[in-house]
Structure 1
């Protein structure tokens, strides 16, 4: 591949991670093009030709920026969001246009053979939380007891089986609200954080019937572990969330000054994290683990496009941005 090969960042307009990565690649003299999904289709021009001689594809993004898919070295998939359509489109027109755009762009991405961090279909396959838990358990991780249900009585039974120490978390997280907003629905103000379920809350479980909810036993922890795997390299950080009552369940629940510490996982656990990410065919993954007071390490979940700079800001010795940029530049 020639030296002018392009690096494509597939994301949305508000993504500080992509801001930093694009800047870093530019400083290195790399040809980098950022594709924000909000610019599709109104500020972009799509072209794909397929014939007996093969295929060619190009994407014009305005301002003289063009993606030539015959010259793409690598693609970083960060945080692509929904496409944006003219206000004049009614709901039916938006649904049809969206289906056509998704089909067209998915075809283009599937034809593009280059280094992917990571392929879209593999990111989707790696995002189902119950499947993650099953796979992690089969591979040798310890996992929390978990149910996903729409039956209030099952929740009450599980609460008792957990001796009253139970948490609830969303399955889709922000993606579910984004999808609703994309369809034009009024998006409610929903708390997406992992949180305790109290005994009083058990009397108001009718909302569970509307959509599957994920409930887990709460396991006491000494600290959280954020393990980021980039192209096989493992970066581990301890997050001592237990220092603050507001972050005891979810370290994202507060802006409290939580201590972070770079660490190294035991050899077998580091290899297990690497193997877990590799089992999906991913080049990147951000795994959430906890270490219990008695030293056990418990798997919680993996985010195939997870945030990592909140760790690197506190622990600059974990040079994850450098590792990601090197992965994209590598021929």
Structure 2
């Protein structure tokens, strides 16, 4: 029989449908760790908050119609892109927007004040998620990175392509799908660039150009604390070899090993941003050199666990269950 670990509940703050959070909640349940899972988008319409500050941490109750927790007893927070608080629609403007801002400041501000383990704190997650800030930190910690250009200047883009002297790709600076008027959601894949086709449309927004990295395969490296789970991604189509997200059916997976220099660089990168979790994307060249493309501090990982059997959820749950010493 699993022994109940000492300590209070874990807050799992996420949207309603989240397979990764489901796996973590299951693992916490196995450990007999109490959990309150909620979406901030339900606050304050179907959630109640009442906390008081006297001397040390805030104390009081956060509750929905099914469960409640005393916030001074919380041991850890697992935070995964929840919706923002939303007050009732009947409240007219300008008070509707003002009230939403008050709800966000009250709930998220109170959560920020909890002196507990976070995976990951949202303000740190947001800062670390920007590619322009990621690559210099990676290079400073000894990781290989691709030569890159961010520009709104078509001529600068053409000059970069010619200076690289080989193939170049263009990719989004941040994640997120295109939201179409008919409700469809489509991704924006990485694509190879012909310098002769670069036109004035580059000036419409910021673009990220990178040298093409010849690769034998790619690696999604999921890091939990100091534990690393390397999933090799082998592409079986031309589209997947450029961007594996564009053709999931053409992918095969294997479990890989992390070189010591990559391990040290990744841990230094996470320490720089004060993160306990990160999903890194690497290319591995035919010579075995690992080249870091990016890290998503809130990256998806449930599909990697399902494909490889890597025990990612168990380690996230263990980190949350231990809480802050």
Asked if TM exceeds 0.5, the reply is: yes
Deviation at 1:91, TM superposition (A): 6.5
- Alignment match, 2:103: 101
CA deviation after TM superposition for structure 1 residue 187, in Å: 8.2
Aligned ranges 1:200-215 → 2 under 5 Å: 201-203=197-199, 205-206=200-201, 208-215=202-209
Deviations 1:137-171 (A, max 9, x none): 11111111112222232222223223462222222
User: For 2:282, which of 264, 277, 289 is the aligned residue?
Assistant: 289
Unpaired runs of at least 5, structure 1: none
Deviations for 1:208-250, whole angstroms, at most 9, x for unmatched residues?
4343222212211111011111111111121112x21120111
Match of 1:19 in 2: 22
Q: Structure 1 residues 190, 153: closer, same or farther in 2, change over 3 A?
A: farther
Structure 2, gaps ≥5 residues long: none
Give the distance between the partners of 2:106 and 2:144, measured in 1 at CA: 41
Deviations 1:95-148 (A, max 9, x none): 323332332233212210112112222212211111100100111111111122
CA RMSD between the two structures: 2.7
Counterpart check, 1:194 vs 2:190: yes
Q: When the two structures are superposed, what TM-score results if normalisation uses the length of structure 1?
A: 0.87
Q: Are the counterparts in 2 of residues 164 and 199 from structure 1 also a CA contact under 8 Å?
A: no
Aligned residue number for residue 318 of structure 2:
326
User: Once the 2 structures are TM-superposed, how far is the Cα of residue 38 of structure 1 from its aligned partner?
Assistant: 2.4
**Who is 2:297 aligned against?**
304
Name which of 152, 155, 158 aligns with 1:156.
158
- Inter-partner Cα distance in structure 1 for 2:185 and 2:194: 21
* CA distance, structure 2, for counterparts of residue 43 and residue 137 of structure 1: 46
CA–CA separation in structure 2 for the residues paired with 1:188 and 1:313: 26
SS of 1:174's equivalent in the other structure is coil
- 1:327–1:155 distance in 2 versus 1, CA, 3 Å: same
Contact 1:57 1:108 (8 Å CA) reproduced: no
Shift in Å, 1:93: 4.2
> Which residue is equivalent to 1:42?
45
TM-score by length of 2: 0.88
- Contact residue 57 and residue 72 of structure 2 kept, 8 A: no
Counterpart position of 1:56: 59
8 Å CA contact 2:219, 2:281 repeated in 1: yes
The secondary structure found in structure 1 opposite 2:84 is coil
Count of paired positions: 320
Q: 1:163 to 1:76 in 2, by over 3 A?
A: same
Distance in 2 of aligned mates of 1:131 and 1:71: 36
The residue matched to 1:51 in structure 2 has which SS?
coil
